[in-house]
Every structure is written in C-alpha cells, then in structure tokens.
A and B are shown apart, each in its own frame.
Chain A
C-alpha cells in the first residue's frame, strides 16, 4: 500500500471556481510535506512545503493545510485559471532517513 494517497485521481472544474485536493499519508516519523505542480510535458515544480509545526501556508492562489494528527494535507486553489491545469503531486519526507514518498497525483483540468 502506498504511504501517500491522493484524491481525487482527476478533477475537472470551470475557470474561476475553487477546488481542494487531498493528500493522506502514513509516512512516519514525519519530516515535511511538499506539494508539487507538474505541467504536461514538464518536470514537477515545488509549490509549498509544510513542516510539522505549520498548519497553513499560502503561495498566491494556492493554500496548503496540514493536520499532523490525522496525517492529512489539502491544497486549495482559489479562483482557478486555465494555467492551473496540471498534475499536483504530494510528497512526504520522513525524518529518519530523509526518504521521500510520492503520491500518484491529482490531474486537474480547468475549462473555460
């Protein structure tokens, strides 16, 4: 079983709408969690990083939350734009070996 599970697998929304992507993990001991955005045909690019003591962090229209007790994170996108169409990948690192575990990603499509 993957230690990082993302949902939904894919999502289609209309331009201007908000959406929330979920990431549940079992990685332990927890070090940090990153959200990456991967445009089609490109490599992933880091959006935000959440450490154990952080609950919320924003990067423009992207807001990530972390609940370390329930081992859940979400990525909220506000006022979506066509350029938000991409895959969003959750990556969780453990503090023992610094190993990174990748989720399978959520494929977001924003339609005009």
Chain B
C-alpha cells in the first residue's frame, strides 16, 4: 500500500530551536510538495520539487526555512530558528506530474502531516 510517510507526526519545541521534518514520497513519483496548514490561512504552498530539483520556494521564508531533497526517497523541511508563528501542520505530498507544458491530471497524495508547536 503505497503512501507518503512523514516524520515526526507531532513536535513540540521551544522558540529558537531547530526543527527538521522528513518526508518519504511514494516510490516513482517525480514531484514533491511541502504545504503548511493553519486555521487562518488554509493550505499554503511552501516549496516544491520536480525530479529532485527545487522549482518553486517563493512561499517559504528563506531566512529561516530550507527545503531539500538529498535523494529521491527523502525530502526535508528545516526551520532554524523556529518561532511561535511557525506553529502549524506541515504536509508533504507527492505526485507524478508531466514535465513541460503537457496537460496532466496527476493526483497529489498527501502524508498525514507533522503537527508543529513552537512555544
């Protein structure tokens, strides 16, 4: 049963600490997304990768957030230093998306999320 796996599921930390969230996309998927969800903002795109290359990270505060894909089986989202306003649920999603301008109907498969609380 293929699924996106995220760790940790829950994280409570103090302001100023480093937080690293990990995602294992579904094998064979070429696109990985990081989203943040809060009650106020809904789902916000932070970054996405296609074939491990970062395509868009304009939604991510670059001074403290970084996203990487060291290999095809692992995506990471790091916050350093963390702040209370970073408290949210962070979702990773993967999909098989056509390259270029071909129309695609690729479905996104979401992980269960990492709930982050920064005190």
Contact = CB atoms under 8 A, between A and B. Distances in A.
Interface string A44-61: 111001010000000000
A15 B93 CA distance: 32
Contact of A49 (B98, B107, B112): B107
B119 interface: no
Interface stretch (A16-24, A62-70, A71-79, A98-106): A98-106
Interface residues of B, number: 21
A100 B105 CA distance: 11
A102 B43 contact: yes
B85 interface: no
B15 interface: no
Main secondary structure of the interface of B (DSSP, over half): loop
A97 B112 CA distance: 27
A80 interface: no
A49 to B, nearest CB: 6
B101 A96 contact: yes
A11 to B, nearest CB: 16
A24 to B, nearest CB: 16
Interface of A: 31-32, 34, 41-46, 49, 51, 89, 91, 93, 95-100, 102-105
Interface of B: 4, 35, 42-43, 45, 56, 91, 93, 97-98, 101, 103-108, 110-113
